[in-house]
Structure 1
Amino acid sequence: MEMSPRWFPVRLTSTPGRVDVIGGTGNGWAGLLTTVAGPLLTNGQAIVVAGFSQQAVGRELAWLAASHGIAVNRSDLPGQLAHADLGQGFSPAELAESLAAAISTMRPSDADISLRHTDVELLRTVLDCLEGPFTAARLAAGLTVLLRGGDGDSTRTLSDRENIALSSAIDDVGKSERVQEELRFLRGMLDLLSQAEAARAPVPDPTNWWRAGQLTFLVCDDFVERRKDLTDRIVFHRLLHHLRKGRFAGGSGLLVVVGADHLGRDALEYMARHARTAGVRLVVFLEHLREDIQDTVGGSDSATVLMRLGNSREAAAAAAYIGHEYKFLVNQVTQQSGSTVTDGRSSSYGEQAGSTHTSGTGLDSSSSTSLSKSWQDSTNTSLALSTTAGSTASRLYEFTVEPTQLQTMPATAFLLVEGAAHGRRVVHGDCSPIATGWDQVSDEPLMADGHG
């Protein structure tokens, strides 16, 4: 007899613009990315994956795309970015804002917010004086001219006309200690980027990242941690700029940001807002559930996927987010048994004696004597058994999912939490790419009661 399915596809019942994936390992992320993005690729949608995690989470997805004849575009960063024209797709004012925003997120959260304004002004001054291309090395050289007044090797990187324009702008930016510190800081960041080993090909135009039926990987990896961090933020804000300008075809694809913990809550909320406006679905992979991220989880128009969280505090926070429910717990069981045995014996003895005499006329007379005795012995036995059983239950308000369960989930296991029409929906699933080959797998989701 054919057995009923035990495994069903998990589908979102809502249409969230943002999905947060929290916790998990590289293998788990790779499985989830493949099972979620694979069907979208085969449907002709565009997918852009910005990989900041330094884990090869897109290898299986790239293999799947190639096996179906789908174009795979990979950019290795910072190599392809270090010597590319950063102004491609930007006006000078937009590039100054984007670079200043990327660099400002590297500062502590309590840093002076006016520093970002100063960075914009300094970068805009350099960009207005340069004729292009706006490479990292040329921007660093322009900042050096403002800092040193045109002395040093930086002048050889720029044309004479550019050097003259920058020298004329020195008085405009001023020579205060604050300005000099910012010039040194900005020059150091851009100079560090320019020193990355050049890749074989420059980074393609960001407007070409988003093409129907194409998978684009932006892989950020570098042995210099500061340069890698800077590259992540520049790429993130370039994506944000193109979302804001509406250069991604709305409703036609997926933007995935992998390893976004270090980018900060404000930056992620900003991207989510512009992705929603552009009609692009955003998926953000976060390794940790830190305090600043806890405030954004479960926001409007979003769903959450929780994977393994080894840290006890993060697991407890995730369990609290999933919620509590009433449970009936048996806390007392009683059982009594007893028996009663009755055993008895009785004896009786009786004796009876009598005589009869009859007389008449003549010789007719008679007499008789009778004697009777009786004995009786009796015994009786009875057995009575009794059993009484009872239990006492109390209602408790406990975690729907215990924190320890989140800490010990398999690498590809997950919990989907979303707001649905019937109420909050919590579904347990597995994103292993080989799941489709398991026994008793259904082609259709189990949605009768809202659970998949």
Structure 2
Amino acid sequence: MYPDPGPPPKRPSPSEVAEEPGAAVDPAWIRRERFQKDLLNRPVKTLGVLMALLSVLILVLGFTEVLGWSFALIGLVVTGGVALACGYAVGQGERALRSRIREQEARAERRRESRERKLFDAQEDHAERYREWAAKKEQYDKQLNWYAVAIPDEIDRIDVAGGTLPGWSALITLLGATRLYSGGHLTVLDLSEGAIAKDLIELARRGGDDPLVWVLPVDLPRLDLGATLPPEAFADVLAHVVSVSEEHRTTRDLSFDNAILERVLEVLGDNARINQVTAALRALAQVGDPRDDLRSGLLTATQLERIGTLFGRGVTDRVVIERAWALESQLRKLEALGSEAVRLPPARLRVVSMDRQAGVFGNRVLGTYVATALTHVLRQSPASDRPWYHTIIVAGADKLRGDVLDRLMDACETSQTGLVLTYRSLTPTVRERLGRGHAAVAFMRLGNAEDARVASEHMGTEHRLELAQLTETISPTVDGLNGTYISTVRDGAASEEPESEDKAGEGGLREGITESTEWGRSATKAMGEERVLHRSREFLVEPHQLQQLPTTSVIVTHATAEGRQVRLADANPAILTFPKTTLGEFEEVRRVMLTPGTPDDESAEDPFPPNLGPPPERLDWRRTH
């Protein structure tokens, strides 16, 4: 809002004020004047001396009576008069010289006073300019450097296209920090296999929470998500899980699988586990020896008999057997689900992640199950009166089928749950869903040239954005950020104890980010370089620029009545720790500051204070991320 006033005006020195000629009497001029006076007075002085000597001689001659006193008296009068006249002339010349010297000295004094007056005026002008500069400098120093990027209230989803794992880590840490510290709940489904919520988990621990972290498939026995679903919903979840490997399946195929699973679950009864379902499918597909499942207690003799009569023995029997075999081969990856489930303490942060050492296909099956089961849980939950109070983040959403994403979006919209979807690449499935419905789109670094072209066409290449040098400076320092999750639902798996309550509340969000995240530690070092705080560069939204965005840069865009709005933001959570950061939006802060009658003294309440702790209650989280 206020430009940098630059260095202070230079104070004028006496040497910089031009000295006027004749500011002091020249001694050489005095010597020349005296020399000229002496030259002019020399004949007069000589005549006067001669007349004085002649007067003395006449006086001597008069006393010796060589010359009569009458003649002597006349001679004394003549010679003495001439001598006195010569002396008077010499004195007049000396007085005239002293008068000229005094005039020169008076003139020099006036010039000196004029110079001093000019110097005083210059210093007064400097003092006025310095006061103006100091006022502008104070405005510049007191103004905020970082403002929040807000989205309209009706937005209930953010699609994040592109980005690297460190960039996603920054974004999730930023969103999660503001969500948790304002009292909300957060669920992270990490399909990226990159532990991008690790900093957020450490930050939550420092804030006094005890996050729940599942690392699948190892923690599958302790995951009870979907255990309480009714048979119809459970069958629907399992049918979608099976479809994960069959991208071109039709709704008819899905309904056929769903019908098989519903009939199997009807035989097994309520609260059937996955391993019971797979045992029933093996019996239906005539795979293996059903007596093994009878001995293990997965099936009873009555259930086995009913399964054998579920479908007829006609021509379609072979179709049922093939589908049952396909269902069993994929659902067996979930057999351990909930087998060792125990009651876990409530947590405001829940993270379900995929182990990178597991198989790619197995992780897709597990991710689809969690997303679909979560969808049904949301569908059965009442709509919240606080939008975004519960926020779900799906990292790597491009690994889910399009219909799974659509159902999750609809469930979140119905339940007033905030949804953030991050996509590594813009597949056709992703492209047709970007910004659809009530959603904003956030573009991060897009390495693929075709994805960058699609993104630039979506935003419009005429937009000119300004990138802070701080964003470019910090990004390379954490570009290699990575790690692994540590499960908190396994006995003795957590390697660190949660922070005590006293320590957790110490310093609030600022100290938490600074000490618990790699972003905070990197920003502390960069903040010491004053030159990176205010410098920036501009660029146009073009494909090659989108391919070179810094790690934490986010271009946020959404449609408005006036046209598409495009803004550039920084997802670095360390910005929340800067002393000149506000959770208010730039336009809001400017409107408050420029409103006539707004108090400007230090005692006035700051409408948008720096973020030293939880966001103000009157600021909804949707307008603080």
User: Normalized against structure 2, the TM-score is what?
Assistant: 0.55
Cα displacement (A) at 1:148: 2.2
Q: Which residue of 2 aligns with 1:336?
A: none
Partner AA of 2:574 in structure 1: I
Cα displacement (A) at 1:318: 0.1
Cα displacement (A) at 1:204: 6.1
| Maintained 8 Å contact 2:462/2:541 | no
Task: From 99, 102, 126, give the equivalent of 2:238.
Answer: 99
Q: Secondary structure at the match of 1:76?
A: strand
1:429-448, aligned counterparts within 5 Å?
429-438=569-578, 441-442=581-582, 444-447=584-587
Task: From 146, 159, 168, give the equivalent of 1:7.
Answer: 146
Cα displacement (A) at 1:87: 5.7
Q: Which residue of 2 aligns with 1:261?
A: 398
1:141-180, aligned counterparts within 5 Å?
141-148=279-286, 151-158=290-297, 162-174=300-312, 176-180=317-321
Q: 1:88 to 1:324 in 2, by over 3 A?
A: same
Q: 1:151 to 1:204 in 2, by over 3 A?
A: same
Q: 1:326 to 1:45 in 2, by over 3 A?
A: closer
Q: 1:142 to 1:44 in 2, by over 3 A?
A: same
- Confirm or deny that 1:129 pairs with 2:267: yes
Cα displacement (A) at 1:142: 1.4
Q: Structure 2 CA distance, aligned partners of 1:279 and 1:259?
A: 22
| Maintained 8 Å contact 1:308/1:409 | yes
Q: Structure 1 CA distance, aligned partners of 2:334 and 2:557?
A: 40
Q: Which residue of 2 aligns with 1:368?
A: none
Q: Which residue of 2 aligns with 1:241?
A: 376
| Maintained 8 Å contact 1:5/1:440 | yes
Partner AA of 1:63 in structure 2: E
The alignment of Structure 1 onto Structure 2 pairs a total of residues equal to: 372
Q: 1:203 to 1:185 in 2, by over 3 A?
A: farther
- Confirm or deny that 1:119 pairs with 2:257: yes
Q: 1:77 to 1:202 in 2, by over 3 A?
A: farther
Cα displacement (A) at 1:6: 3.5
Cα displacement (A) at 1:225: 2.2
Q: Where in structure 1 are there 5+ consecutive unaligned residues? A: 328-398
Partner AA of 1:192 in structure 2: K
* 1:96-123 deviations in Å (ceiling 9; x for gaps): 11111222233122x3543322222222
- Confirm or deny that 1:298 pairs with 2:439: no
Cα displacement (A) at 1:248: 7.0
1:312-391, aligned counterparts within 5 Å?
312-325=449-462
Q: 1:55 to 1:48 in 2, by over 3 A?
A: same
| Maintained 8 Å contact 1:319/1:400 | no
Cα displacement (A) at 1:223: 1.2
Q: Where in structure 2 are there 5+ consecutive unaligned residues? A: 1-136, 465-538, 592-623
Q: Secondary structure at the match of 1:317?
A: helix
Task: From 222, 232, 238, give the equivalent of 2:367.
Answer: 232
Partner AA of 1:293 in structure 2: V
| Maintained 8 Å contact 1:303/1:416 | yes
Partner AA of 2:564 in structure 1: R
Identity %: 26
Partner AA of 2:328 in structure 1: R
Larger strand share, 1 or 2: 1
Q: Which residue of 1 aligns with 2:413?
A: 276
Q: Structure 2 CA distance, aligned partners of 1:101 and 1:204?
A: 27
- Confirm or deny that 1:63 pairs with 2:176: no
Larger helix share, 1 or 2: 2
| Maintained 8 Å contact 1:86/1:134 | no
Cα displacement (A) at 1:69: 0.8
Aligned residues: CA RMSD: 3.0
1:14-29, aligned counterparts within 5 Å?
14-29=153-168
Say which structure, 1 or 2, has more relative contact order (CA 8 Å, 6+ apart): 1
Larger radius of gyration: 2
* 1:374-425 deviations in Å (ceiling 9; x for gaps): xxxxxxxxxxxxxxxxxxxxxxxxx950111100001111101023465421
Partner AA of 1:33 in structure 2: I
* 1:33-64 deviations in Å (ceiling 9; x for gaps): 11122112111111111111111111111111
Q: 1:250 to 1:156 in 2, by over 3 A?
A: farther
